Amino acid sequence: MDKLIIKGGGPLSGEIRISGSKNSALPILAATILADSPIQIGNLPHLNDVTTMLALLRSMGLAITLNEKMTVEIDANTIKEYTAPYELVKTMRASILVLGPMLARYGEANVSFPGGCAIGSRPVDIHLRGLEAMGAIIEVDEGYIRARSNGRLKGASIFMDTVTVGGTENLLMAAVLAEGRTTLQNAAREPEIVDLANCLVAMGAKIEGIGTDTLIVDGVESLHGCHYKVMPDRIETGTFLAAAAATRGRVKLKDTSPGLLEAVLVKLEEAGAVITSGDDWIALDMEGRRPKAVSLKTAPYPAFPTDMQAQFTAMNAVAEGTGTVVETIFENRLIQIHELNRMGAKITLEGNTAVVTGVERLNAAPVMATDLRASASLVIAALVADGDTVVDRIYHIDRGYECIEEKLQMLGVNIRRVPG
C-alpha cells in the first residue's frame, strides 16, 4: 500500500492546471448508456474511480476507446449484460448511477449495493422510491437491487424528502427516456448536476429548471451521441487554495472556474487571502501572512461544501484564533481530527462540531487516511508540519486527486511516493 512522505516547511508557490471533475465525470459516464450512437466525453480526470467506472461499463459490454488526452468514446449499443457486479461496485459508491440509465433504456438493471468511503450512512432508498414511482418493479435480493420495467418508464411527480446528489442524478437520467413529464422536487443543485443535465441536453434530452431545486423533464424516445467536456473539479481547486492559504503561499490555478466555489472563496478571503480571478483561472496570495481562523457550517450547494470541510479544518489548525467547524451532511466526516491532534493540533470534538484553536506549527507524525477528503486534510497538515510526515493508505487520495504529488512538486513541495 503506497505512502506519501512530505517534508513540511515552505509556502506553496507556482502555477498548476486543475483536472476535470470526478463527481461530474462519473454520472456523465453512466449517462452514456442512454445514447443510441457513440458519444465522446473529454477532460476526464485520470483517477481510480474513473477507471473503475469505465471497467464497469466495459464489463457490461459497452465498447470503449480511450485516447492519450483522456477523451473517451463509448458505444452503448454493444451492451450484453445488465448487471453491475459486486466486485466492481464495492469499491465505488457512484456505481449505483448505472441503475437509472439501464432501466430507462433497456428495462432491466441488476446493481449490487454500493461501497465507497466510510463517512456515514448514505441510503439509496430515495433512488428506489423514485424509480418505483416511474413504474419500475424493484426487488432487493442477496445484496443486489434488481429492477425491471414493463415497457418505458412513466413520467411522475417525485418529491425527494432529503436533498440527494446521487438520487437526483439517477432519477434525472431515468426520466429523460420516460414516457411523459417527470418533475423532480427538492432536487440537489450542485454544479455537477448542472453539468450532467447540460450533457443530457446535448444528447437530445428536454430538461427545464437546470440549476434550480425543481427539474422538469419531458421524456424523449431516444438520445443521441455528442461531444461533451467535463467541467473543472471545484473540490480539487478548493483543496489547493486551502493548502496555499495554510502555508502562507501564493498560487495560480488554471483551467478552473471561480463561479463554482463562491462559498469557499468567501471563506478564504475571510482568512486573509488576496484572491484574483478570470474566466478560467484563480490566483491566491497570502502575502506571507498566517491565515486567520474561520468558522463554517457545511450544507448543500450553494452553501459551504462538505467535501471542503476537512481541508479548512486543517487550515484552521495553524490559523490565528479559534474557528468552529460544523458538519451537517455526514456523521463521520470529522474523523480526521484525531490524526490532526496527533500532529499537535488543538481541536476538540463536540458531536458534529469541531472547535479548532490554531497553533503556529504542527509536528510531523505518521498518519493514516480514512477517506478521500480526510486524506487531503492530512496532506495540508503535513505541508505545515516540522519534519517528514508519512501519510499512509493514500489509495483514498488517488480516488479523487489526479497526480497530487506531481502537482505539489510543481508548487515547490518536497514530496515523494513510496511503496508500503
> 267-324 pLDDT, tens per residue?
999 999 999 999 999 999 999 999 999 999 999 899 999 999 999 999 999 999 999 9
Q: What pLDDT, in 10s, does the model give residues 54-69?
A: 999 999 999 999 887 7
Q: What predicted TM-score, i.e. pTM, was given to this entire model?
A: 0.93
Beta carbons within 8 Å of 266's beta carbon, 6+ residues apart: none
The whole-number pLDDT of residue 122 equals: 52
CA distance 158 to 185: 6
Cβ 317 vs Cβ 358: under 8 Å: yes
- Pick from 10, 1, 95: nearest CA to 408: 10
- Please tell me the total number of residues recorded for the chain in this structure: 420
**Which stretches of the chain score pLDDT less than 70?**
115-123
What local confidence, expressed as pLDDT, does residue 419 receive?
92
| Cα maximum dimension of the chain | 64
The answer to whether the beta carbons of residues 56 and 95 sit under 8 Å apart is: yes
- CA neighbor of 223 nearest in space, from 260, 269, 272, 172: 172
Residues 409/14, Cβ–Cβ less than 8 Å: no
CA angle, 142 as apex, 138 and 145 as ends, to 5°?
Answer: 30
Torsion angles phi and psi, residue 404, rounded to 5: -65, -40
CA distances, 278 to each of 117, 236, 253, 283 (Å): 34, 18, 10, 9
**Residue 135 and residue 153 in contact, taking contact as beta carbons nearer than 8 Å:** yes
Catalytic residues: 117
Calculate the alpha carbon distances from 258 to 198, 201, 249, 283 in Å.
Answer: 19, 24, 19, 10
Q: How far apart, in whole angstroms, are the C-alpha atoms of residue 48 and residue 70?
A: 13
The reported pLDDT for the residue numbered 69 is: 79
Strand partners, 298: 304
